[in-house]
Amino acid sequence: MIAEKLGRVVWHDLFTRNRKRAMAFYQRLAGWRYVTEHATDFAWGGGEKDFVLALLADEAGAGFAETPQAFQDGWIAYVEVRDVDAAALQAEELGGAVVRAPFDVPGVGRNALLADPFGALIGISLSRHSFPAPRSQFGPEIYLSDRAVFPDAFYRTLFDWRAASAQSAGPAGCAICGPSGETVALRHSATLPRAAGALWLPSLKVADPQAALCHGQELGAKPFNGTSGEPAQRPYCMLQDPDGSLLRLLGAPDE
């Protein structure tokens, strides 16, 4: 673990039932390339399986995995913590749930998958390598909820994240700041496309969000307009990829 990574998103997994289609979509949308690694005891499902790493500018920040049983297709972000097992116990004490008990990922570290008190899935990780948190592919996470409040105590205790008041929200949403004061996420009220009280989605960096939105639709994605405010007033675009996974498109120069 590198101390500077604490409280920061250090990885993303995409659960997909059509990995080939997902790889083609994100390659054409965001310019990613891929490296396939072979696991003898795969973290999601066990056994020997191939795992696809997604890279941009020679930096790996995401992996593509076949959607495990009882899960939906979608993105999972992982936040660095000091102790995965202790954080999992704390999550339950704070009204969340442990969806996947702590497990080791050979050569990577120790992870777990949690649900916050509103049901949003968030991963936790303790890195056992010296790579810094990746920056090339993703910007601040997005928290969508059909509630007017944010489970602040849950995220403050686990990650030292602090949410700004709803009154301070701008067109980009309410800021959620990490331990060093940087914006790690933004939250929005939303009408969600599936039965969930809340969910996290990633911000993919692209050169031109509006152009990428149009290109994404040509590739089979659909625009998502479930958040509050008029789409033309928002400095970003949201869409569902061809498998229904939600994401935000963010202009890379603005980061």
β-pairing verdict for 183-189 and 49-56: unpaired
Is a pLDDT exceeding 60 seen at residue 142?
yes
CA distance linking residue 8 with residue 83, whole number of Å: 14
Which residues are paired to 55 by β-bridges? 33, 60
Q: In what order do the strands lie in the sheet with 162-163?
A: 162-163, 174-177, 183-189, 138-145, 198-206, 246-251, 237-240, 222-223
pLDDT digits (tens, 9 = 90+) for 186-240: 998 887 876 678 999 999 999 999 999 999 999 999 998 766 544 444 446 899 9
| Amino acid identity, position 157 | T
- Which residue in this structure is represented by tokens 């601040």? 140
pLDDT > 90 fraction of the chain, expressed in percent and rounded: 70
* Domains contained in the chain, CATH given: 1-255 (3.10.180.10)
pLDDT digits (tens, 9 = 90+) for 244-254: 999 999 998 64
pLDDT of 232 reads: 40
Taking the whole predicted model, whether its pTM rises above 0.75 is answered as yes
Q: Which tokens sit at 251?
A: 């202009």
Which residues are paired to 36 by β-bridges? 52
What mean pLDDT, rounded, does the chain reach? Answer: 90
CA distance linking residue 121 with residue 123, whole number of Å: 7
